[in-house]
């Protein structure tokens, strides 16, 4: 997987300050989990969202990228969608996608730690906290998981509470409770 990490400061000073840099292309498809939306910036996949309807995931995307031009582009993103659908059907290997990861430094540390969790080897939030440098608050770790915009490629679904159940974070986006 080619990982490209960006944050607000670097995006604002990037040399590609054109209209295209603020464009997010997306495609919506059907899977066993409902609707899946894959979005890509000029840098890489910046969102994988799940929902019940196309309208729901499109609204989630627009809310996640205010100020960006959101454009449906089925043909260009078909290969990304196909990889994701295949992964959902048979999750054997990590997703090989160029990623545009946007988040705070703490969120990126949590998301980097999530990417080290092997398939079918879930961790508890406490175990994940030990892998993350900085604050060890389980609530902060769970919140970062919930705000993960690139579900499956950053596998927040591989983390569970000590009881073996998934935690649901009430505030913010809730991809953590999804696949």
- Packing angle, helices 138-146 and 105-114, rounded to 10: 80
What is the set of active-site residues?
156
- DSSP code of 150? B
What is the per-residue DSSP string for 47-103? EEEEESSHHHHHHHHHHHSTTSEEEE-HHHHHHHHHHHHHHHH---S-----EEEE-
Helices and strands (H, E) in the chain, number of each type:
6, 8
Count of CB atoms situated within 10 Å of the CB of 95: 19
Distance in angstroms (rounded) separating the CA atoms of residues 101 and 93: 20
Alpha-carbon separation of residue 87 from 2, 57, 74, 125, 143 (angstroms): 17, 19, 19, 24, 25
Cβ atoms of residues 48 and 85 within 8 Å:
no
């Amino acid at each position: 997987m080619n990982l490209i990490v960006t944050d607000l400061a670097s995006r604002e000073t990037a040399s590609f300050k054109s209209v295209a840099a603020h464009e997010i292309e997306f495609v919506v498809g059907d899977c066993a989990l409902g609707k899946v939306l894959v979005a890509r910036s000029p840098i890489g996949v910046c969102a994988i969202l799940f929902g019940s309807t196309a309208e729901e995931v499109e609204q989630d995307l627009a809310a996640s990228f205010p100020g960006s031009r959101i454009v449906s582009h089925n043909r260009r993103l078909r290969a990304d969608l196909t990889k994701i659908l295949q992964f959902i059907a048979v999750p054997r290997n990590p997703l090989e996608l160029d990623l545009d990861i946007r988040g705070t430094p703490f969120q990126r540390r949590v998301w980097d730690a999530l990417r080290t969790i092997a398939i079918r080897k879930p961790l508890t939030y406490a175990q994940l906290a030990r892998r993350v440098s900085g604050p060890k608050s389980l609530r902060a770790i769970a919140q970062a998981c919930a705000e993960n915009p690139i579900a499956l490629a950053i596998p927040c679904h591989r983390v569970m509470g000590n009881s073996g159940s998934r935690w649901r974070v009430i505030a913010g986006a809730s991809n953590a409770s999804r696949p």
